[in-house]
Amino acid sequence: MVSTEQIDLSKLPQHIAIIMDGNGRWAKKRILPRLIGHTTGVKTVKKIVEFARKLNVKVLTLYAFSAENWQRPEDEVSGIMKLLKVYLANETDNMINNGIALNVIGDISRMPEELQKDIKNAVEKTKNNKAMILNIALSYGARQEILRACKILIDKGIKNPTEKDFSDSLYTAGLPDPDLLIRTSGEKRISNFLLWQIAYSEIYVTDVLWPDFNEEEFIKAILDYQKRERRFGKIA
Ligand code: IPE
Ligand code: IPE
Ligand code: MG
């Protein structure tokens, strides 16, 4: 058993990013439709957002829907869009009460129009909250984000950009890079997530499927992170 007390608060990752994978496999194991896996995954999202806030994590980034996920069957995609709508309707007040500012990264112009409005609304309503930033990656792809940043720099006439200029042109402008990147469900790949920002993130992969992920598994990831020596190319 692990507990919150084991966490060294002076070494808490400021920014945790999570590739929330495994909803489909969770459902398949139970001979249930994939969408039940996504519905159960939303419950984990609520739990983990609440817990990260309690721990005082400053930025939590959740990969919810990738640019490539649009290629899934139409009923799965529309089901996920509906779940997002319900999530925003249910959780915006909780975010306000808990000091959480919602930020969405990705090309939301591809989302249904009504959902775009809901997203903008929730972002607007929570924008003055200071305790934690909840970044949700929707219709997000890192390569697309990098190309978009290049276009922004070109439009600004910046011919010789610095790393800072580049970072400032990403969806994550102004945020610290993730210290810890968690992927559930065992796959050892990045799947087009935050390619620029994870240059020096510590990676933690667990076999636990996202709907089964919980506070205890989250603590395990943080404890594992706290054992690492981050060198950033230097020597001790
Ligand atoms: C992650 O679970 C959620 C999304 C990508 C939307 P998956 O749906 O990818 O679940 P698996 O990988 O098929 O188990
Ligand atoms: C990554 O999971 C995207 C999200 C978790 C939203 P995928 O299930 O789409 O990734 P691949 O296809 O296994 O690489
Ligand atoms: Mg998957």
The CA distance from 102 to 92, in Å, is 9
User: Within the chain, what is the greatest distance between any pair of CA atoms?
Assistant: 55
Residues 76, 37 contacting (CB under 8 angstroms): no
Q: From ligand 3's centre to the CA of 176, what distance in Å?
A: 26
Q: Which among 137, 136, 64 is positioned nearest to 95, based on CA atoms?
A: 136
Distance in angstroms (rounded) separating the CA atoms of residues 102 and 93: 11
* Residue 128 annotated as catalytic: no
Question: Can you point out the beta strands (E) in the chain?
Answer: 15-19, 59-66, 100-105, 132-140, 180-183, 202-205
pLDDT score of 79 more than 90: yes
178 CB within 6 A, ligand 1: no
Ligand located closest to 71 CA:
2
- Residue 21 CB–ligand 2 contact under 6 Å: yes
- Which has the closest alpha carbon to 53: 4, 95, 103, 5? 95
Q: Is 90 a catalytic residue?
A: no
The atom number, within ligand 2, closest to the CA of 140 reads 6
DSSP β-ladder status, 100-105 and 15-19 = unpaired
Q: What pTM, to 2 d.p., does this model score?
A: 0.98
Contacts of 93 (CB under 8 A, 6+ apart): none
For the CA of 80, the closest atom of ligand 1 is 6
For residue 191, the ligand closest to its alpha carbon is 2
pLDDT exceeds 90 at position 190: yes
pLDDT of residue 5: 97
Alpha helices in 6-112 (DSSP H): 23-29, 34-55, 74-97
Q: Mean pLDDT over residues 213-220, rounded?
A: 98
Reply yes or no on whether the pLDDT at 179 is more than 90: yes
Q: Which of 69, 70, 76, 210 to mutate to test the pocket of ligand 2 (most atoms within 8 A of CB)?
A: 69
Q: In degrees rounded to 5, what are phi and psi of residue 188? A: -95, 65
Give the active site residue among 69, 129, 192, 214.
69
Structure tokens at 9: 């608060």
Task: Give the angle 102-124-166 at the CA atoms, nearest 5°.
Answer: 60
Question: For residue 159, what are its two tokens?
Answer: 């011919």
Q: How far is CA 155 from CA 135, 160, 231, in A?
A: 26, 13, 36
Q: Please give the single-letter amino acid code of residue 48.
A: I
> Per the residue annotation, which of 21, 118, 177, 179 is the catalytic one?
21
The overall average pLDDT reported for the chain is 98
Q: What's the mean pLDDT in 52-75? A: 98
Report residue 236's pLDDT band, with 50, 70 and 90 as the boundaries.
confident
The two tokens of residue 209 are 């499927």
Instruction: Give tens-digit pLDDT for 9-59.
Output: 999 999 999 999 999 999 999 999 999 999 999 999 999 999 999 999 999
Whole-number pLDDT of residue 6? 98
User: CA 99, 104, 110 angle in degrees (round to 5)?
Assistant: 150
pLDDT given for residue 157 in this prediction: 98
Structure tokens belonging to residue 110: 């591809």
